Structure 1
Amino acid sequence: MATGKLYIGRRVRDLRQANRATQAQFAERLGISVSYLNQIENNQRPVSAGVLLALAEKFRIDLAELSGGEGDRLVSALSETLSDSLFDGYAPSLQELKLITQNAPGFAHALITAHRAYRHNSEQLASINDTLGRSLAAVEATPYEEVRDFFHFVDNYIGDLDLAAEKLAGEIGIGEADPGPILAAYLERQYGVRILRAAGSDDLVRAYDPAARLLTLNSYLPAATRHFQIALQIAQLHAGSIVDAVAAGAGFRTAEAGEICRIGLHNYFAGALLLPYGRFMAAAREVRHDLDLLAARFGASLEQVCHRLSTLQRPGQKGVPIFFARIDRAGNITKRHSATRLQFARFGAACPLWNAHQAFENPGRISRQLAETPDGVRYLCLSMQVSRGGRGFRQPQQHYALALGCEVSHAESFVYADDLDLSNAGAYDPIGISCRICERAQCASRAVPPLKGRLVVEHHTRRTIPYSIRPVGEG
C-alpha cells in the first residue's frame, strides 16, 4: 500500500530534543546536512527512505510507528471542523491539514474544542427558549465527550494498565482455562472478597460491599458478563493507583469527567485482564480473527472481543489496524475507535450505505461488505447485532450493531475475506463518513446536503436528488 510522502518533522525534532542533541550533532549521526535536517523538522521536505532507515538503526525507531496513521484521527477531526459553513470559503488541502496537525497539534485540538463549543451553543439556542445564562452553559463539552475524546486521541491504548493486566493474567493463568473460577479464586485469595449470586433488582448488575468484602452479581448474567464484572472488581482493587494517575494526568475540566474516565479505565483493565495482550493477539492471528472462535476460547462476548481488537495498539507490537463501532437502533454511535484511515464523524449519523445498519435485519449473522470511501481507500466491513439486558419474558433488552473492519490490504488476516473477490472494483459499495461532510454529489441515499458546496436547484427538472451540488470555488 502506497503511503505517499512522509512529513514527520515534529517527531524528528522531539526525538532530537529527547536525545539532547543539537541539529549539527543529530544531522551528523543521521549522515545528512544540517540544512536538510532543518527542512525536515519544519516539514518543508519529507523524510527519505535513507533517513528513515538511519532513524531506525541509530535510535531504534519502529518504522511502522513513524509511518502509521497516528495522526489520521486528528486530521479527520480537523477536516470535519473546517467543513462547517462557519469557515465557508476556506477549503484546506490534505497536505495543509497534515502540516497543521504535525507541527501544531495543540492548536488543532484547541480549534476542534472551540468548534464543538460553537455547535453546542448553536444547538442549544435553536432547540430551547431559555435564559441566556443556561444557553451559554452548554458551550463546554459534556463530561462524556471529554472522556470519549481522551480515549480517541490516545489511540484507545493505555500502556500502564495494559501491561499490568497482562502481567496479572500470566500470574493467575488467564487464557489457559475457564476464566470464571480463576478470577473468583484470585479475588477471594488475594483480597478476601466473596462472590454471591442473587436475583436482586431488575436493573442491578453488580454491587460491592467494601465492609463485608462481598461482591453480589445478578444471577441471570450471561457467563461472559459475569466474568467481566469479576475482572472489573479486581481492577478496582488491583489497579486503583494506576487508574487514578492516568485520570489525574488527563487534565479534565470537571471532576465528573474524571470519575467517568476512572470507570472507563477500570473497564479497560478488566478487558485487558480477560483478553491478555500477547496471548489474545497470537490467538487472533491463529484463527484469522474469527470472532466466534475468539469469544469461545476466552469465555468472552463478541462485543468484548471486538472492543479488545481495537485496543491492540502497543508500540512495536501492534495488531492489525481496525475500526470498531457500536451503534444503537437510532444510528447513534455509542462506542467508536479507528486505527485505520476511516475515521467516524464527530457529529451526525453514519453513512446509510454502510452495512452496520443492516445488522438489525440479520440477527445472529455476521454480515460482510466490501466498501470504498471517497478518498479511494477500500475496506472489509463486518457487522452483527448483539443484545443485552435482563433475562425473562418481561425484561427489556437493548439491541446494538457492532461494526468491525480493516483496510483491504489487511483483509487476508480475516477469515471472512476468503471467498470475496477483493480485486473486483465493482464489488465495492461506495460509502462515506457522514452526509454532512461526504463528497459524493450524486448519492441517492444522501440525507442532508453537504456543508461544503453550493446547492443548485432546478425548478423544471426533478432528479433523485432534488438539487445538484457545485463544489466550492466553482461558479
Structure 2
Amino acid sequence: MPNSSRKIFAGARIRLLRQSLNLTQAVFAQQISISTSYLNQIENNQRALSGSVILALVDVFDFDLAELALDGAGKVSVDLQEVLSDPIFAENDVLMQEIKVAATNAPNVTKAFLDLYAMFQKSREQLGKVDSALKENDTSLAPLPYEEVRDHFHYKDNYIDELDRAAETFAGSVKRAGADRQADLVDYLNHRHGVHVVLRKDKPSSSTIRSFETATKTLYLNAASTKATNLFQLAYQVGLMEQGSLIESLLDTADFHTQAARDVCRMTYANYFAGAVVLPYAEFANAAKEERHDLEKLGFRFDASTEQVCHRLSSLQRGGNRGIPFYFLRIDQAGNITKRHSATSLQFTRFGGSCPLWNVHHAFQSPGEILRQLAVTPDGVKYLSLAFDQTKRVAGFKSPVRKYVIGLGCEIKHAGHVVYADDLDLTVESNFDPIGSSCRICERTDCLQRSVPPIGKEIHVDHNARGSVPFRIE
C-alpha cells in the first residue's frame, strides 16, 4: 500500500484507466461506489485518493498499487523543471508547485512542450543550417534518433511487456538442465533456422562483435569477446529472426519522427529481447531476491556481465511482480551519460553535466572496486548508490580501450534487501552525502562544488570577500 503519510493525487492515471476501459465518469464512479462529482474532482486532482477508493480500484479493476508509488508525472515534472532552468526562461518565475500541477493535470500538453523545446535545442545548435533546412523541408530539426528512442523507453519505464514475455517464453523453451546456454542457442539457430555460428579467431583485434551473412546464413562472433557478450549476441540474432512482426507492430505505435529513429529503436527492441532471454524475468527476479542483489553472483548464475545485470535490475517493472526500483546509468570519462534509466524518483540531467559529488565520477580512480555511497538529494530522498568501473577492449596490445563507469542505486528504504548495505550505518545523517541532478536546478546554497547559480535565485557578489564559490545565493 502506498505511504499513508502523504496524500496521493493520481488524476491522470485514473482518467487514463477509465478511458482505456471506454467507461463514462458516471459508470466508472458507480462501479467503485463513489459519486460522479467525486470522480471528477479526483481526475482533476482536486481530491486525493482515499483508502476506500484505492481498495475499490484494486478490487474492481485489478489496479496495480505500485503505479501509485512513482507516477509518470514525477518524471515529466523533473524534465520540465530542467528545461525551465534554461536562461531563456530566466524572467519567467515558474514555481515548483506550478510545474507539478502541469505535469499531473496536463501530462500530454507538458510532454508536447518538452518535445517542442527539444526541437528548439536542436535548431539552436544548428543555427547555421536553419535557413536551408526550412527551405528544403529538411528533417534535421527533428529530435536526434537516439534521443527520441531514449525518451520513448524513459516514459515506458524501460519495460516492454510484450517483448519481455516473448523472451521469457523462448528462454524456457530452449533451456536444458546442466547444458551450456551458449551451446543451446547455437544448436537452436542451426536446427530452427539453418544458421551456422562461427567464432572468428582470425581477426582478434577487430571491433566487430557480430556479423551475419544472409546469403550463407552464417553468424560470425568474435572469439575475443566475453562469454556474456556472445550469449547476448546469439539471443539478439534470434530476436531479429523471430520477433520481427512484434517489433514492427511496436514501432508502428511508437510514431517516431524519422526512419533513423525507427531503425535505432528496432535495434534497441532486439537488444531488449536479447537481455530478457539472457535474464528471464521471473527467474531473474526471484534470483535477485535470493542473492540479495549481489551483482557478481547474479552475473555468474546467468552467464551475464555485471552491466547486463544492472540494466536488467532497473527494468523489473512488470505489473504484479515488480522488483526494487533501481536507477541505472553508464557514464564515460568525459562525463557523458551513454545509457540511463531510473525507476526511482531520481532523474538524470538531460542538459549539461551531472553532480560532481556523485560517486559515479570517482569510480574511474578506483579500478576493480564497487564504490558505495549514501546520498541524499535536495528533496530529502536518501539513496544507496553503487558505482564501478568497466573496461572494454579487444585482443591486441595496441587495440583501443573503452572505459566506462556503471552506476546503480535505490532508495534507502530498500537497502535491507541489498547486500551492499549490510555494514553501512543508515541511521546517521552525516553519513549521507548531499548530491543533486545539476547545478542549474539544484537548490542547495552551500555546495562547494557549485559551478553555476541555480535558475530563479538571486546572487550577491561581495567584492570585499571571496569564498570557494565567487557568489552568494540569496
TM-score range for the pair, normalised by the shorter chain length = over 0.9
Instruction: Give the deviation of 1:178 after TM superposition.
Output: 3.1
Is this contact kept in 1: 2:142–2:257, CA < 8 A? no
Taking structure 1 as reference, are residues 134 and 41 closer, same or farther at Cα in structure 2, changes over 3 Å only? closer
Unaligned stretches of 5+ in structure 2?
none
Q: What CA deviation, in whole Å up to 9, does each residue of 1:250-276 have, x standing for no partner?
A: 111110110011011110000000000
Is this contact kept in 2: 1:6–1:67, CA < 8 A? no
1:292 corresponds, among 290, 296, 311, to 296
Aligned residues: percent identity?
47
Whole-Å separation in 2 of the counterparts to 1:134 and 1:110: 22
Taking structure 1 as reference, are residues 188 and 419 closer, same or farther at Cα in structure 2, changes over 3 Å only? same
Whole-Å separation in 2 of the counterparts to 1:366 and 1:351: 19
Residue 37 of structure 2 is matched in structure 1 by 35
Alignment of 1:16-415 (within 5 A): 16-125=18-127, 132-133=131-132, 139-173=141-175, 177-198=179-200, 199-200=202-203, 202-415=206-419
Whole-Å separation in 2 of the counterparts to 1:450 and 1:355: 22
Number of equivalenced pairs: 467
Is this contact kept in 2: 1:70–1:339, CA < 8 A? no
Q: What CA deviation, in whole Å up to 9, does each residue of 1:55-96 have, x standing for no partner?
A: 111221122223434332212111111222222244444443
Whole-Å separation in 2 of the counterparts to 1:120 and 1:233: 34
Q: What CA deviation, in whole Å up to 9, does each residue of 1:99-131 have, x standing for no partner?
A: 322332221111111222222333344xxx667
TM-score (norm 2): 0.94
Whole-Å separation in 2 of the counterparts to 1:123 and 1:291: 40
SS in 2 for 1:464: coil
Is this contact kept in 2: 1:166–1:272, CA < 8 A? yes
TM-score (norm 1): 0.94
Instruction: Give the deviation of 1:181 after TM superposition.
Output: 0.9
Instruction: Give the deviation of 1:397 after TM superposition.
Output: 1.1
Taking structure 1 as reference, are residues 32 and 95 closer, same or farther at Cα in structure 2, changes over 3 Å only? farther
Residue 446 of structure 2 is matched in structure 1 by 442
Taking structure 1 as reference, are residues 58 and 299 closer, same or farther at Cα in structure 2, changes over 3 Å only? same
Is this contact kept in 2: 1:187–1:193, CA < 8 A? yes
Amino acid at match of 2:436: G
Is this contact kept in 2: 1:72–1:343, CA < 8 A? no
Is this contact kept in 1: 2:11–2:44, CA < 8 A? yes
Amino acid at match of 1:182: D
Taking structure 1 as reference, are residues 27 and 177 closer, same or farther at Cα in structure 2, changes over 3 Å only? same
Instruction: Give the deviation of 1:222 after TM superposition.
Output: 1.0
Whole-Å separation in 1 of the counterparts to 2:346 and 2:70: 13
Whole-Å separation in 1 of the counterparts to 2:353 and 2:178: 41
Taking structure 1 as reference, are residues 91 and 408 closer, same or farther at Cα in structure 2, changes over 3 Å only? farther
Whole-Å separation in 1 of the counterparts to 2:176 and 2:87: 52
Unaligned stretches of 5+ in structure 1?
471-475
Is this contact kept in 2: 1:174–1:273, CA < 8 A? no
Whole-Å separation in 1 of the counterparts to 2:410 and 2:390: 20
SS in 2 for 1:300: coil
Is this contact kept in 2: 1:84–1:452, CA < 8 A? no
Residue 15 of structure 2 is matched in structure 1 by 13
Taking structure 1 as reference, are residues 55 and 91 closer, same or farther at Cα in structure 2, changes over 3 Å only? farther
RMSD of Structure 2 on Structure 1 (CA): 1.9
Whole-Å separation in 2 of the counterparts to 1:183 and 1:51: 49
Is this contact kept in 1: 2:70–2:344, CA < 8 A? no
Amino acid at match of 1:140: A
